[in-house]
Amino acid sequence: MKQGPLLNLLVGERGTAVFLVIVAIVGIVVPVLHLVPAEGSALQLSGYTMTLIGKYMTYALLAVAVDLVWGYCGILSLGHAAFFALGGYAMGMYLMRQIGTRGVYGDPVLPDFMVFLNYKELPWFWHGFDMFWFAMLMVAVVPGLLALLFGWLAFRSRVTGVYLSIITQALTYALMLAFFRNDMGFGGNNGMTDFKDILGFAINTPATRVALFVASAIALVLGYLACRYITLSRAGRVVQAIRDAESRTRFIGYRVESYKLWIFTFSAVLAGIAGALYVPQVGIINPSEFQPINSIEVVIWVAVGGRGVLYGAVAGAVIVNYAKTFFTAALPEFWLYALGLLFVVVTLFLPRGFVGLLDRFGKKPAAPPGNAKTVPA
Amino acid sequence: MQRYAWLAVLLLASLLIGARVYAQASAAAPDDAFATAVTGLAADNFPDKAAAVTALIELKHPGGRAVLAALLDGKLYFRNADQQVFITDGGETSLALTDPLTQKSVGSGTPDDYTRITTNNSLRKTLRSAVASFALTDPDPGVRLDAVREMLRSLDDDSVALLRSRLEQEKDAGVRKAMQEGLALADLDSSEADTRLAAVDALEDSLSPDVYNRLTAMVTAAEDGSFPEADERVRTRAREVISAIDASRQVYATLETLFFGLSLGSVLVLAAIGLAITFGVMGVINMAHGELMMLGAYTTYVVQQAMPNHIGLSIFISIPLAFLVSACVGMLIERGVVRFLYGRPLETLLATFGVSLILQQVVRDLFSANNRPVETPEWMAGSLQINEALSITYNRLYVILFMVVVFVILQMVLQKTSLGLKVRAVAQNRNMARAMGVRTQWVDAMTFGLGSGIAGVAGVALSQLTNVGPNLGQQYIIDSFMVVVFGGVGNLWGTLIGGMSLGVVNKVLEPWAGAVLAKILVLVALILFIQRRPRGLFPQKGRAAES
């Protein structure tokens, strides 16, 4: 059966089709269940649950971004949570400016923490964040520019493998230390919170929450499809060739650095968008989002789901985060054991994650195991 | 005329008798005189007390200093019932009593039964100089030096006179110098310009902040343009001396920064050197390395708990024990996880990260999430005072020495033992080594054990410098990776130089940028450095570099 390019993009792969159907159903059913049934009825889905699912969806988008660079291009970034947090901070700055005179100190321009820290005027990098379009631009531009600069320096001088992983980790660590400083002008260790409204709508009403939820679902689907489009394209094949044999690809004549740089930058932008959707839903952003462990956790979501498979990354993000929500409430002291074991078991026994497990028991023969073996860096 | 003769005879006789009585009193029973004088302190008026104090000073009894010091501190009490005087600890609910004569504890009493012996201003002044003068004749030069320093803080005519009289008899060079400094400071108040000039000259080598402040005050103009120091020559000389002092203080400040940097660098090297072995030899990223250090630190804690009375000794037992504990855990990790992942460094990174999470939680469950107190042995506390501008804390000094010892031992193991030979062979060319009959699997396990054991030893050092808690490892893991990557993989000298230079750069930047910003700057600089030289300062050359 011959398919058009659009149809191939949407349903050319069984997992993708299933993913799209599930997100569509969740994106419609959850808001309906939240809004329509009467308050307190058994059918009603609480705002907490909906926000939780919304949060998982932003995580899933982050996981897709990591899967794109790691699963398809072989760049193990241990600093992607930094791009996520930067997008979140851009959104947080917009939300802080929207508070206006309703803050504790009632200053029309300066956010509370600046009044508290004796700022006399708005730092230059806060200008423009009162405008939504500008803030949204920054959500993409700031992580994108950082990734572009970092990637340009790193890929040009052929920093690869574990070296790259370590310096991405150093990057997020340096950013964490920087954002913890009060005089950076980003709220220090308290970060930003107490948001009031977004685009003029109060942020805590059910309608706004539903809108944010739907926006997350749409962003996830669009981000996913964009990544799928890239991986299916000619450039995507080159990228996978780089993953499997970087030197050989270079000798054939491809500009390996450029491919890596653009895929890395695009992935960072996606992570930034995920962060921007995450912040209004959880209502806070602080420097602990930059912790190196956060970035490593994202990698394990992807590994658990199955790297090199986009819907695997989504599944992994949801599974691991649901387990985390469950364990940290029920058996908090057990969570680190579970997470630690997950790292060990997945890398030792499930190199292709749960997707690989499904394939093994599934009807169709296993997909080409190209992503299971990696050429040593 | 006869009348005078009579008077003279009478005087002579009374003097003779007096001298006899005095001689008897001092020779036969000095303790009695002492006791009498001490009892005299309990008098109800100040002149009598002053007389008793004077008597005590003149007796030069060995117990005199303690009594006078106690009186000065308001810790001398008498029992209401029988006027007996005791040295106390000044406690509010109960008084620990010490007999002034024997200096032995004689139990305790309730404050209600005792009255404190009060003093007035002139008495306190006499007491202060008396206590100082006792201290200046103490056989221990350290006590004498402290006494001189104490007197320098508030110089008056009496203390200057005292210092001048003791200077002749003082043998110890350090104490002499301090005394001369004090006298020169006093001379700055002289009305003779030449005396002041000589005093300024004498202060040229001094590093004490008192001297510096005093000289600066002399040449600082008042609002009306006049100077506290009237004479132009003295002012010029004082300015020269100030700039000389500034220069030498600058030198010592630089030395201190360098020393801080070297000690921080030693910590980094200790933390990174085990990692350098596993990473360099096996190409394996061990993210659990920090947790192996944490295990070493906890081992120190456990050893201290087992032998609470021998803290000083416990460190020497902790070092081999920590090596064993971490080495065993490391070999377990290697046999259980890492060996299945050779050739897949990124997977190793993730799996060992999982192991690190598990180890953290194990420690949290065994020892609670709170920091554990690890005591510092006495021989590591305190600092080595080189001069007034430079002092070196012992724990930092020992860390540097410890690092050097560990480094040398490690180099010996790698260069001189058969294990080291095999380790180097495997690191250079795994397949060729195997072809030559080296059991590479065994070498891998031993190498991992060695690297992990070193991490445990580093943990012992860290337990003396930082909080021992489940997060100890995480604090150091990124730093140690940076050291290894900066120095160049598979090169212990690179790790040494890398760690030391990072430590020094960090400490040099710190006063200028603040601790956190300095660290950020170093990280950014490192990221940029790795772009320029992706294989570190000392890259491996030849075929080994290609793998």
Q: What is the pLDDT of residues A212-253, one digit of tens each?
A: 999 999 999 999 999 999 999 999 999 999 999 999 999 999
Helix axes B472-487, B289-306, angle to 10 degrees: 130
B495 and B456 fall within a common domain? yes
The verdict on residue B259 lying in a domain is yes
Q: Look at residues B72, B97, B122 and tell me which one is the last residue of a structural domain.
A: B122
CB-CB neighbors (< 8 A) of A376 in chain B: 283, 343-345, 547
Q: Do B481 and A169 touch (CB under 8 A)?
A: yes
B146 and B114 fall within a common domain? no
Q: How many CA atoms lie within 13 A of B47 on its CB side?
A: 0
Q: What is the 3-state secondary structure (H, E, C) of B71-108?
A: HHHCCEEEECCCCCEEEECCCCCCEEEECCCCCCEEEE
Amino acid at A80: H
Q: Look at residues B199, B230, B261 and tell me which one is the last residue of a structural domain.
A: B230
How far away is chain A from the Cα of B528, in angstroms, using its nearest Cα?
A: 8
B89 and B198 fall within a common domain? no
Global pTM reads: 0.77
CB-CB neighbors (< 8 A) of A336 in chain B: 357-358, 360-361, 364
Question: What is residue B5's predicted lDDT score, i.e. its pLDDT?
Answer: 61
Q: Do B520 and A159 touch (CB under 8 A)?
A: no
Question: What is residue A267's predicted lDDT score, i.e. its pLDDT?
Answer: 97
Report ipTM for this prediction.
0.85
Tokens of B444: 């891998």
β-strand B95-98 against B105-109: which pairing, if any? antiparallel
Euclidean distance between the first and the last CA atom of chain A, given in angstroms as a whole number = 40
Question: Rounded to whole angstroms, how far apart are CA atoms B459 and B371?
Answer: 14
B258 and B214 fall within a common domain? no
Question: Rounded to whole angstroms, how far apart are CA atoms B70 and B97?
Answer: 12
CB-CB neighbors (< 8 A) of B475 in chain A: none
B454 touches chain A (CB under 8 A): no
The verdict on residue B17 lying in a domain is no
The verdict on residue B470 lying in a domain is yes
Question: Rounded to whole angstroms, how far apart are CA atoms A55 and A212?
Answer: 10
Q: Do A166 and B360 touch (CB under 8 A)?
A: no
Question: What is residue A285's predicted lDDT score, i.e. its pLDDT?
Answer: 94
Q: Which pLDDT tens digit goes with each residue over A151-183? A: 998 998 888 888 888 889 999 999 999 999 888
The verdict on residue B245 lying in a domain is no
pLDDT at A2 over 60: no
Specify the residue for token string 């739907």: A214
B468 contact partners, CB below 8 Å, separation of at least 6: B294, B297, B298, B300, B301, B371, B372, B373, B374, B462
Cβ(B183)–Cβ(B158) below 8 Å: no
B544 touches chain A (CB under 8 A): no
B221 and B268 fall within a common domain? no
Question: What is residue A172's predicted lDDT score, i.e. its pLDDT?
Answer: 94
CB-CB neighbors (< 8 A) of A340 in chain B: 354-358, 361
How far away is chain B from the Cα of A307, in angstroms, using its nearest Cα?
A: 12
E strand or H helix that includes residue B384: strand B383-387
Interface with chain A: mutation pick from B355, B357, B517, B533, highest number of A CBs within 10 Å: B357
The verdict on residue B533 lying in a domain is yes
Q: Which pLDDT tens digit goes with each residue over A45-90? A: 888 899 999 999 999 999 999 999 999 999 999 999 999 999 999 9
Helix axes A292-305, A80-99, angle to 10 degrees: 120
Q: Look at residues B122, B151, B186 and tell me which one is the last residue of a structural domain.
A: B122
Question: What is residue B15's predicted lDDT score, i.e. its pLDDT?
Answer: 56
Tokens of B277: 């072995």
pLDDT at A371 over 50: no
Question: What is residue B132's predicted lDDT score, i.e. its pLDDT?
Answer: 74
Rounded to 5°, angle at Cα B142 from B139 and B148? 95
* 3-state SS assignment for residue B17: helix
B176 and B110 fall within a common domain? no
Mean pLDDT lowest among A113-127, A344-358, B104-118, B405-419: B104-118
Rounded to 5°, angle at Cα A254 from A252 and A255? 140
**Is the pLDDT higher at A196 or at A137?**
A137
CA–centroid distance for B132 within its chain: 26
Q: Do B531 and A344 touch (CB under 8 A)?
A: no
Short-list A80, A201, A185, A190, CA closest to A132: A201
Q: Do A351 and B347 touch (CB under 8 A)?
A: yes
Question: What is residue B8's predicted lDDT score, i.e. its pLDDT?
Answer: 60
B509 and B422 fall within a common domain? yes
The verdict on residue B8 lying in a domain is no
Question: What is residue B153's predicted lDDT score, i.e. its pLDDT?
Answer: 67
Amino acid at B97: L
Phi-psi region of B231 (alpha: psi -120 to 50; beta: other; left: phi over 0): beta
- Splitting chain B (547 residues) into consecutive groups of 10 residues, what average pLDDT does each group show? 59 55 50 80 80 79 77 82 80 78 78 81 78 75 75 71 76 77 77 79 77 79 74 82 87 90 92 87 84 95 90 90 96 92 84 92 90 85 78 88 94 92 86 90 91 94 89 87 83 89 90 85 87 78 51
Q: Residues of chain A with pLDDT > 70: what percent?
A: 95
How far away is chain B from the Cα of A51, in angstroms, using its nearest Cα?
A: 28
E strand or H helix that includes residue B116: strand B114-116
Amino acid at B186: A
B61 and B159 fall within a common domain? no
* 3-state SS assignment for residue A197: strand
* 3-state SS assignment for residue B459: helix
Give how far Cα B274 sits from Cα of B197, B199, B242, B498, Å: 60, 57, 49, 14
Give how far Cα B476 sits from Cα of A114, A239, B507, Å: 32, 35, 17
B353 touches chain A (CB under 8 A): yes
Q: CA of A338: which chain B residue's CA is closest?
A: B358
Q: Any idea how long chain A is?
A: 377
Cβ(B539)–Cβ(B487) below 8 Å: no
B536 and B477 fall within a common domain? yes
Tokens of B34: 């002492």
**Is the pLDDT higher at A105 or at B389?**
A105
Cβ(B181)–Cβ(B388) below 8 Å: no
How far away is chain B from the Cα of A284, in angstroms, using its nearest Cα?
A: 24
The verdict on residue B514 lying in a domain is yes
Q: CA of A167: which chain B residue's CA is closest?
A: B527
B470 and B324 fall within a common domain? yes
Q: Which domain holds residue B32?
A: 25-122
B424 and B341 fall within a common domain? yes
Q: How many CA atoms lie within 13 A of A216 on its CB side?
A: 31
CB-CB neighbors (< 8 A) of A159 in chain B: 530-531, 534
**Domain total in chain B:** 3
B90 and B169 fall within a common domain? no
The verdict on residue B236 lying in a domain is no
Q: Do B482 and A351 touch (CB under 8 A)?
A: no
